[in-house]
Chains A and B, each alone.
Chain A
Amino acid sequence: MSTPDTHLHIDNVSKSFGDVQALKGVDLEIKRGSFVCLLGPSGCGKTTLLRIIAGFENASSGRLMLDGTDISQMPPHKRGFGMVFQSLALFPHMSVAKNIAYGLKLRKVGKAEQRDRVEELLNVIELPDIADRPVSALSGGQRQRVAIARALAIQPPLFLLDEPLSALDAKLRDNMQIELRQLQQKFGVTTILVTHDQHEAMMLADELVVLKDGEVYQSADPATVYQEPANSFVADFLGAANLVPANVSKDGHVTVMGQEIACDTGHPVGTRLSAAMRAEHIGLVPASKAKGHPVGAVKFLRDLGPTTELVIAVDEQDLRVRCDNATVPDLSIGAQVALSLDGGRLSVFKA
């Protein structure tokens, strides 16, 4: 049952294209005013799900409930959701002002009010002087902001974005992520963004939905998804975890790479598991003080400024390690080093 602050309820939505099942019973409740990121590799169904919400595709089964009303059969132009497309899809034959005012013109808003609204939005996106410019005269970041302004001009109940930042270069993308988040907070609009970039999803989302093969693998706030991934795919997809075999050696303990660690898994003794460790959760100890810790050889070493990235080979397995520069011992390639693992930060899944 939907709670009162559920804005959109995606009720058991499935979609097939011929024999291919793009979505398998997706069930999500999206809170009013929240920023939801649909995250997954290409082909996971995230864009299909967004297009179903926008109305450009029809679900094969299931319903979409907006504020308790079934909108599954409503044509897209009646839904009034603002959408920002991957290609931005600005109208190249219109000026910036006409682009932003297009949705208002369709709603038969008066000329003076259109002008006021465009001016207001241009101020919000901090580009007050570009109203009369053709779209072709804008830079990538400016186009981005105009596309967002155009979608927000119609004061949509839902704001949908399909990988809108993927065409920007890395630095601009970083800035736009912060701006987009601030805009969303300012307008308080319920927002759904599709991305394959886990960093972007972490930057923006209140709620992160990880999809794979048309199924929701995990749906939670970003910190939870990162710290407590529900399965090995999520652990690996978000911030590339090291996945190593483990097994339950005795009650409340698992053995990983020969080391016994206190970790309550709830599985019976002898269960074969797979353990995920974040690169930054592995500590380095000089090999001389190993004391039962797994020992490996440094294969790769690179100082990135704030952190150092290492690859350490333990029993034929390469592990990614990220250390604060303050804590990294003096190492060189080929040197032996011991790894300290923290049971509280270990995620274990049934293999």
Chain B
Amino acid sequence: MRVGLLPTEGKSTYRFMVLFLATIGILISSLPVIVVTIMSFSGSDNTGFPPPELSLRWYWDVVAMFTQEDANSAQSVVDSTVTSLLVAFIVMVISTMVCIPLAYALARGDRRIREGMELLFTLPLVFPLVILGIAFLLIAESLRLDIGIWRIVIPHVALVLPFVLRNCIGAMNGISVETEEAAISLGASPLRAIWDVVIPLMRAGILAGLIFALIISFNEFTITFFMYTIDVSTLPIWMYSRTVSSLDPSTLALSVFIIVADIVLIVLVDKLIAGRANLF
């Protein structure tokens, strides 16, 4: 018999509490998305809630921003978007390339080393982001090198590594040494065994890590705020600059586009890996 999600027996106060807490949880996590989505359809110029009338004007504004040259703005939204996507892509590739061999070495190696390394890579998570931003800015400035887009890529990789690593290690845990040895006994060199057996079996975890890297990097604001320059800036920075003096409702319409893209990505990966790794 399947155990029901909601308790059907016991005192009604218990049942009420479970439902109450679940509702609060769902509201807290979805309220911002709901508010932003409703506001983006507003027909008025100000950002009063609820909007007095509905229209698609801000969506047309977003389309116009991407298709027409904007002489007023210092940085164009197109440049920021391209930079954001490029950074996210590079971060995704680098973090995966680092984490697959690292996860393999840690999973097969000494347990104590593994725990220590995991802790080390988790440091950027527990560090206050502002301090991390200042630290990376200090490093970048003291180097006095024009490294272009890498100013943002490198901090993003540090930020994303623990998530990708955790997913890759999780995927490695399910692969027994015997499976690898079986390939070796059949004539595969150790490297070939990893390529033919370990990597395909890690696929679900690798994909989850990829998407994590992509989403975190694309949405990252705090560290990027310290690192961006006139030439190299990302979409979240551009959106912030549009809202800092007065809230521009077209930013909200742009947010909805990003939310939809994120959801599509998550659903796609969820289908692809079919519950064989956890995204969160």
Is residue A211 within 8 Å, beta carbon to beta carbon, of the partner chain? no
For A54, the chain B residues whose CB sits under 8 A away are: 181, 185
Which of B185, B188, B189, B197 gathers the greatest number of chain A CB atoms within 10 Å?
Answer: B185
For A78, the chain B residues whose CB sits under 8 A away are: 187
Query: Of all chain A residues, which has the CB nearest B179?
Result: A89
CB pair A106 B188 closer than 8 Å: yes
CB pair B200 A103 closer than 8 Å: no
Interface size on A, as a range, is 20 to 34
Which residue in A75, A86, A154 is a CB contact (below 8 Å) of B186? A154
CB pair A154 B187 closer than 8 Å: yes
Chain B residues with a Cβ under 8 A of chain A: 176, 178-179, 181-190, 192-193, 196-197, 200-201, 203
CB pair A77 B179 closer than 8 Å: no
Q: In the complex where A56-B181, A93-B201, A106-B192 touch, is A87 in contact with B176 (Cβ < 8 A)? A: yes
Is residue A278 within 8 Å, beta carbon to beta carbon, of the partner chain? no
CB pair B189 A77 closer than 8 Å: yes
Query: Of all chain B residues, which has the CB nearest A77?
Result: B184
Query: Of all chain A residues, which has the CB nearest B189?
Result: A77
CB pair A91 B181 closer than 8 Å: no
For A56, the chain B residues whose CB sits under 8 A away are: 181, 184
CB distance from A107 to the nearest CB of B (A): 6
- Chain A residues 77-124 with CB under 8 Å of chain B are 77-83, 85-87, 89-93, 102-103, 106-107
Query: Of all chain A residues, which has the CB nearest B186?
Result: A103
CB pair B186 A89 closer than 8 Å: no
Which residue in B178, B185, B201 is a CB contact (below 8 Å) of A77? B185
In the bound complex, CA of A79 to CA of B184 (Å): 10
- Chain A residues 224-259 with CB under 8 Å of chain B are none
CB distance from B179 to the nearest CB of A (A): 5
Is residue A150 within 8 Å, beta carbon to beta carbon, of the partner chain? yes
Query: Of all chain B residues, which has the CB nearest A160?
Result: B185
Query: Of all chain B residues, which has the CB nearest A156?
Result: B185
CB distance from B232 to the nearest CB of A (A): 41
28 contacts between A and B (CB under 8 A): A56-B181, A56-B184, A76-B184, A76-B185, A77-B184, A77-B188, A77-B189, A79-B185, A81-B185, A82-B185, A82-B186, A83-B182, A85-B181, A85-B182, A87-B178, A89-B178, A89-B179, A89-B182, A91-B182, A93-B197, A102-B183, A102-B188, A102-B196, A106-B187, A106-B192, A150-B186, A151-B186, A154-B186
CB distance from A83 to the nearest CB of B (A): 4
| Contact digits for A139-157, partner B, Cβ 8 Å, 1 yes 0 no | 0000000000011001000
CB pair A77 B182 closer than 8 Å: no
In the bound complex, CA of A269 to CA of B102 (Å): 69
Chain A residues with a Cβ under 8 A of chain B: 54, 56, 75-83, 85-87, 89-93, 102-103, 106-107, 150-151, 154, 160
Which residue in A85, A92, A154 is a CB contact (below 8 Å) of B178? A85
In the bound complex, CA of A115 to CA of B124 (Å): 52
In the bound complex, CA of A85 to CA of B183 (Å): 11
For B186, the chain A residues whose CB sits under 8 A away are: 82, 102-103, 106, 150-151, 154
In the bound complex, CA of A90 to CA of B197 (Å): 10
For A81, the chain B residues whose CB sits under 8 A away are: 185
Query: Of all chain A residues, which has the CB nearest B180?
Result: A89
For B183, the chain A residues whose CB sits under 8 A away are: 91, 102
CB pair A93 B200 closer than 8 Å: yes
Query: Of all chain A residues, which has the CB nearest B190?
Result: A77
Query: Of all chain A residues, which has the CB nearest B192?
Result: A106
CB pair B187 A92 closer than 8 Å: no
For B189, the chain A residues whose CB sits under 8 A away are: 75, 77
Q: In the complex where A85-B178, A87-B176, A93-B200 touch, is A151 in contact with B188 (Cβ < 8 A)? A: no
Query: Of all chain B residues, which has the CB nearest A86?
Result: B178
CB pair A103 B201 closer than 8 Å: no
Q: In the complex where A89-B182, A92-B201 touch, is A107 in contact with B176 (Cβ < 8 A)? A: no
Which of B176, B183, B187 gathers the greatest number of chain A CB atoms within 10 Å?
Answer: B187
For A154, the chain B residues whose CB sits under 8 A away are: 186-187
In the bound complex, CA of A154 to CA of B187 (Å): 9
In the bound complex, CA of A76 to CA of B193 (Å): 12
Query: Of all chain A residues, which has the CB nearest B176?
Result: A87
For B182, the chain A residues whose CB sits under 8 A away are: 83, 85, 89-91, 150
For B188, the chain A residues whose CB sits under 8 A away are: 77, 102, 106
For A150, the chain B residues whose CB sits under 8 A away are: 182, 186
In the bound complex, CA of A31 to CA of B83 (Å): 69
For A79, the chain B residues whose CB sits under 8 A away are: 185
CB pair A91 B179 closer than 8 Å: yes
CB distance from B56 to the nearest CB of A (A): 47
CB pair B185 A151 closer than 8 Å: yes
CB distance from B115 to the nearest CB of A (A): 22
In the bound complex, CA of A56 to CA of B190 (Å): 11
